[in-house]
Each structure stands twice: as structure tokens, then as C-alpha cells.
Amino acid sequence: MDNTHILLVEDDESLAFVIKDNLEKAGYQITLATDGEEGCSVFSPGKHALCILDVMLPKLDGFGCAEHIRTKDSNTPILFLTAKSMKEDVLNGFKHGGDDYITKPFNFQELLYRIEVFLNRSQKEVAVPETIHSFKNLVFNTQSLTLQIGDTEFNLTQKETDLLALFFEHKNELLKREVILNTIWGDDDYFMGRSLDVFISKLRKYLKEAVGISLLNHHGVGFKMMIND
């Protein structure tokens, strides 16, 4: 944990102080920015191991800041702090490259736990081999993090790429939730389970125009990506 550097973008002075102070006591180094534009300017892919972004920020909101960070780096985990809990807001966060969210007010131990999970996951990240999956109107490239369906190309985050690659590796097979979570998130706890559900919703949106491919939910068990010739 020593010298692990985290970018915190939070405009609430009191909350920023509490988060920064507690994370520094936990052994992390913190770069604090108080608006979205500053957060974008100070982010460094080689320096920051994780980003914590408030959603409601002056000058540029957290979603815009995350989107900018993703143009520089597709791997660094992004955790949103939000007062909103509507599913649409959560999906919007993931659309802009977020990996997870935590709703205010929150328990600091929960925040610390999520940070540790993401950092542990990053440290033992299993590289996805360069693979191009092609089926009818779909082309998925794990190296370039792109998914092309017909004339539309999507730029994926690393986690979206890892998850979709896992489904292609096990096409037409039922993947249990705990297997997916341990493989992609490195943990199968409740909080990671919520993230999985949001990522599944995102993949379904990508794949809705893919010919012969569907992502099925086996309630309470897991998911199966069906590929029908």
C-alpha cells in the first residue's frame, strides 16, 4: 500500500479533507483536485493507481472528467462518489468509463474496502491476449479495446473488454456469478455483484444489434452468451 497514489476530485471542502486525511492515515498518497478541469489536468496514468471522482463538480462534472481520463488511460480504476442512486445515473457513470460507485453518505470503511479490492485486482491483473472475435456483423478486438457491430464502433474500457472476452471464451456456456466476479473483479462480494449487473446492462446495450448473439440471465445463478449460427 505504501506510496500508492490516488487522485481525489471533490469540491466539498469538508468531505475532501475527511477523505484525504483518512486515506493518508491508511497509507495512501493523495492528489486532491477541487473541480473537474483540475482533475483532468493533474491526472497521470503512470502516477495514479486509482481515481475517486465526485459526480457533481464545478467547471466539468465527474462524468466528463472520467471520459477525459479514459482518453489517456483505459486501465486505472475510477470510483464515483455520488448523491444519486437512480439506475440511469449509475449507468451513465459506467458509460463514461467508471468501474464502480458509492452513494453519499457512506461509511469510510466501505470506501476503503472498495479501494483495496480494486488495487488488489490491478496488482494481479491477468492480461487479455490479443484476440479478434468475428461473428456475422460483429468484430471484437481485445487488444484495441474495440467492438464493432455493423457500421458502429464502440471504444470499451479494459473491464468491459475483460468481461466480454470471458463470455467469448465460454460462449454458449453458463458462467456462474461468482466465477465472473472472481475472474474479473477479484472478489465476489455484494458490492462487486452490483457492479457486475451494471456491466451486464452495458454489454447488452452494445450487443443489441449483434446478429445471432444474446446475453441471457439465469436468475440467481449467472449468465450465458448464446451465439447462434
> What pLDDT shows up at residue 85?
62
Instruction: Read off the pLDDT of residues 176-187 as tens digits, 9 standing for 90 and up.
Output: 999 998 888 777
For CATH 1.10.10.10, list the domain ranges present in the chain.
132-227
Regarding pTM above 0.85, the answer is no
d(CA 172, CA 27): 44
d(CA 73, CA 216): 31
Q: In which residue ranges of the chain is pLDDT below 50?
A: 1, 126, 128
For CATH 3.40.50.2300, list the domain ranges present in the chain.
5-123
CATH code of the region 132-227:
1.10.10.10
CATH code of the region 5-123:
3.40.50.2300
SS (H, E, C) the chain: CCCCEEEEECCCHHHHHHHHHHHHHCCCEEEEECCHHHHHHHCCCCCCCEEEEECCCCCCCHHHHHHHHHHHCCCCCEEEEECCCCHHHHHHHHHCCCCEEEECCCCHHHHHHHHHHHHHHHHCCCCCCCCEEEECCEEEECCCCEEEECCEEEECCHHHHHHHHHHHHCCCCEEEHHHHHHHHHCCCCHHHHHHHHHHHHHHHHHHCCCCCEEEEEECCCEEEEEECC
CA atoms within 13 A on the CB side of 209: 12
The answer to whether 69 touches 40, Cβ cutoff 8 Å, is yes
